[in-house]
Amino acid sequence: MKPQIPYETFANLDLRVATVLAAREHPNADKLLLLQIRVGPDEEKQIVAGIRGHYTIEELVGRQIVVVANLEEVVIRGEESNGMLLAAGDGDAVVLLQPDRECMPGATIK
């Protein structure tokens, strides 16, 4: 396990439900996908995710996922990433975290 953190550190994370609008392969990386996500009624973002080989584009489009919406922008292999999806590692498998029923894009995780 990682070291404990104060509650205030955790409370600074903006965890939200997002809907995947589109997905495509990263042009410069074999394990990355570029996801266009909706994180609110009028807010879309692009995130870079290391899930290529675990999910197909067809499996992702329309799926709801959980994201950290307030990460600083980074450029990963030439592509902008404005957040991070949450996933569990189960041995060699990657499993996306998602709500157990449909939610409005942008719903906050409490």
Report whether pLDDT(26) > 90. Answer: yes
Q: Whose CA is closest to 60, among 24, 86, 90, 87?
A: 24
Distance (Å, whole) CA 48 – CA 84? 7
Question: If pLDDT is split at 50, 70 and 90, which confidence band does 108 have?
Answer: very high
pLDDT, the chain, mean:
95
Mean pLDDT of the region 5-15:
95
Architecture per CATH, domain 7-96, reads as Beta Barrel (2.40)
Report whether pLDDT(92) > 90. Answer: no
Mean pLDDT of the region 33-41:
97
Q: Where are the domains of the chain?
A: 7-96
Distance (Å, whole) CA 51 – CA 64? 15
Mean pLDDT of the region 33-62:
96
